[in-house]
Amino acid sequence: MRDVGIPHPRLPLPAPGKRDDLQAFLAWLSDAIPMVEHLGIREMRWEGECLVWELSLVPNLNDKGTGFGGGLTAQTTLLGWCWTTLWLRQRGHARDVVVAEASQRFLAPVTGDYRLTCAPESEHGPETLAERLASRGRGRIALTQQLWCGDTLCLEARGDYAVLPAS
């Protein structure tokens, strides 16, 4: 167990221009953030510029037998953090990422296993982030997350993720 205030060691960067092995990244993430192993993430994959998680509902049940809003909110926030971190790593940057602002809209109860997706809010978001990193050494990107239970959109979320200056 790690002591409070002690950062977890970074995962080595992937080869230049390559994406991370997502299973290895998820294993590292479970070590770095202990609650991850309890989120029910069954699979993580890229679909173009969209990062997708497939999840089991069972670890996230509430007292009503549906998805627990607090847990779902944590998942959307973490998925955005993963998108930003993986995007940076693919470009050779080992940088700290923090969520600066987040909001959620619950549209329908989550009644079974589900899929979470995360993509840039604007098609120009990644390009703008890259330009700001090059010119200012830091930047932000707005991402959207959607939670799908079958064909039903149950949750929409939005987050601004800040990339901190290199230390």
The full set of domain ranges for the chain reads 41-103+113-163
- Cα-based distances in Å from 153 to 14, 44, 147: 34, 19, 6
| Strand ranges across the sheet with 41-47 | 41-47, 50-55, 114-120, 139-149, 152-163, 97-106
Terminal Cα distance for the chain, rounded: 25
Contact 155, 76 (CB under 8 A): yes
Residue-level pLDDT at 17: 82
Residue-level pLDDT at 117: 98
Residue-level pLDDT at 165: 94
Contact 84, 117 (CB under 8 A): no
Pair of tokens at residue 1:
């167990």
pTM, two decimals, is: 0.96
Q: What stretches in the chain show pLDDT beneath 70?
A: 1
What does the pLDDT look like over 28-69, one tens digit per residue?
999 999 999 999 999 999 999 999 999 999 999 999 999 999
CATH architecture label of 41-103+113-163? Roll (3.10)
Residue-level pLDDT at 2: 74
Contact 79, 118 (CB under 8 A): yes
Residue-level pLDDT at 94: 94
Residues whose CB falls within 8 Å of the CB of residue 112, separated by 6 or more in sequence, listed in order: 57, 149, 150
